[in-house]
Amino acid sequence: MPTTSEPKLISGNANMPLAKAIARRMTMHRGANLGLVDARVERFNDQEIFVEVYENVRGEDMFIIQPTSNPANDNLMELLIMADALKRSSAKRITAVIPYFGYARQDRRSKARTPISAKLVANMIAQSGIERVLTMDLHAAQIQGFFDIPVDNLYASPVFALDIMKQFKDNLDDVMIVSPDVGGVARARELAKRINAPLSIVDKRREKPGEVAEMTVIGDVTGKKCIIVDDMCDTAGTLCKAAEVILEHGATEVHAYITHGVMSGPAVDRVTKSVMKSLVITDTIAPSESVQSAPNIRIIPTAPVFAQAILNIWQGNSVSSLFETPTLEPVYEGQFGG
C-alpha cells in the first residue's frame, strides 16, 4: 500500500500541548498538514491502559511523543502500549520522542541490592518495537549506551545560551555559570563555553536523598550574576539552598536554568519564596497551573528544536547540527535575538 510522503506524529496523554506545538511547527516547515494521528489512549475502570489508532499507519514513519514524567509508570506504559499498537499495525519505523526520560536517576548501583532501573526501562522500550529514541538532556549521558537502538540526545544548553545572551546582553561580563554539584560540571562547562563565562561549582554533601547537609562554593562569585545550571528541578530544596549560599558568598543575584521542571510537592512555593530572581525551565514536562502562574518562573518552548530534530531524522539528516548556534537561531526565528 502506498505511504504518505510525510512523517506521522502520535501522542499519549503525558504532554499533549507540547505534541500539538511540535505538530504545528512541522506543519509550518513542511507546508502540509501534519496534525497528530487520530487515536484514543484511555483507561479501563481498573486503570489498565487501552489504545486505539483510528488512522491507517501501514508502512508509515511514526513518531510517538510521550515524556515519561509524573505519573511515570502510567506514561511509560502508554508509550509501550502505543508502540505495540503501531508495530502490530505494520508501521514501517517507530521513533519514541521522549522529551523527559523518567527513571534516569537510577543509572547505576549506588548501594548493594539496588536496581539499575534506567537499563530496565531501556530494555522495555527496545522490546516494544521502538527502533529509535529522541530525548533531551538525559540525567546521565551513559544511559544512551543502555539502549541497543539509536538514541539522539538533544541538549538544552544551546537554547539556554541564546536566551542568556538576550536576557543579560548588557552585562554578560558579570555572568558566572554555576554547577549545583560536581556531577553536573560537564553540563555547566558546556554552557559557560557557549557564552564565554567563568564557571563555579557548589559542592554539596547529602545525608540522604532530598536532604543536603552542607554546601561549599568553589570559585569566587563576588559581584557576579550567577546562573545555576542543571538538568532537573524536583522539590527545589537543593536549588534554593544553593542560591542562598551563592548570595552569602558575595554574588549580586542568582538565576537558574533547568531543563526539566519536575516541580514536585513544595517546589513552586519554595521557588516563589526563594532568593532567586528567576527560574527558567523548558516545557519537556507539561507545566502545572501553579508553575505557569509563578511570578519568577519562565518557560522556554522546546517544540522548535524537537520539530526540527524529527524532520532531520525523517529526512536522514544530522541531528547534532542542532547543537550549533547558527543552525539553532533560525529554528527559534529570532526569539532570542537582539
Q: Which residues are catalytic?
A: 204
Q: If you count them, how many residues does the chain have?
A: 338
Residue ranges for the known binding site for ATP are 46-48, 105-106
Beta strands 39-43 and 49-53 are antiparallel
Beta strands 199-205 and 214-218 are antiparallel
- Taking alpha carbons only, the member of 171, 186, 297, 195 closest to residue 239 is 297
Residue 194 cell numbers, joined: 557557549
- Taking alpha carbons only, the member of 146, 174, 172 closest to residue 161 is 172
Residue ranges for the known binding site are 46-48, 105-106, 139, 181, 206, 230, 234-238
Residue ranges for the known binding site for Mg(2+) are 139, 181
Contacts of range 285-291, beta carbons closer than 8 Å, 24 or more positions apart: 285/15, 285/67, 285/69, 285/70, 285/99, 285/100, 285/260, 285/261, 286/14, 286/15, 286/16, 286/17, 286/18, 286/67, 286/69, 287/261, 287/263, 288/263, 291/261, 291/263
- Taking alpha carbons only, the member of 295, 262, 264 closest to residue 281 is 262
